[in-house]
Amino acid sequence: MTEAKQIAGPPATLVEPIDMSQLDSKFRDEIRSMPNGEELAACFACSTCTAACPIANQWKYKPHQLIRMILLGMRSEVLNSKEIWECLTCFQCQERCPQKVRITDILFDCKNLAADEGKVPEKILALAKELIDKGQLYVVTADWEREDLGLQPTVPGLSTDGIKQILRETRTGKLAGGGT
């Protein structure tokens, strides 16, 4: 009988071990209280969402792992991940989830939590500033093109005052630095 070899060091695992002291046990309840987060705990990790995702192949954290990370309380890893911002919002994961977990909606919730801590990618922040300054993401410049097609040079009924006023008072205003 051969003797079992003594293996030095930590055991080989498929994923990095999780440091339990770093987990935030309230994170799952936080997400569950947000829009469409209710079904979060129904996830049984079948990873159908990951199979449906057209870009999961280039993500470190796959969609089913992000859901598992929320359930485990890995708040900081999720909210600091690039994955939540790269989500295409194509809703294919959500459409196919057999447990009716609203995965895409939950990633929107995560982005809102990250934004509340001021963690917003630079170019998304630039869009927030556009909304505050101009009240729209695209502004008509080539009005002659419109006239050539028999359209009015400026969009009939357009007024950006309402949206600017609203967003100055909400988180967009704070993020863009022009808020109260």
How does DSSP assign 7-24, residue by residue? Answer: PPSSPP-SSPPP-GGG--
- We find the least distance from the C-beta atom of residue 131 to other proteins, in angstroms, to be 6
CA 97 vs. chain centroid, Å, equals 18
Query: 29, 86, 117, 133: which one contacts other proteins (CB under 8 A)?
Result: 86
Query: 79, 94, 101, 106: which one contacts other proteins (CB under 8 A)?
Result: 94
How far is 143 from 131, CA to CA, in rounded Å?
A: 21
State the number of binding residues for other proteins (CB under 8 A). 60
Q: What x/- string results for residues 45 through 84 when contact with other proteins is judged by CB under 8 A?
A: ---------xx--x-----------------------x--
Q: Which residue has the tokens 């979060």?
A: 40
**115 makes contact with other proteins (CB under 8 A):** yes
Q: Are 171 and 116 in contact (CB under 8 A)?
A: yes
Residue 84, SS3? Answer: helix
Amino acid code (one letter) for 169 = E
Query: Which residues in this chain contact other proteins in the complex, by CB under 8 A?
Result: 35, 54-55, 58, 82, 85-92, 94-95, 102, 104-105, 108-109, 111-112, 115, 120-121, 123-124, 126-128, 131, 135-142, 145-146, 148-151, 155-163, 166-167, 170-172, 175
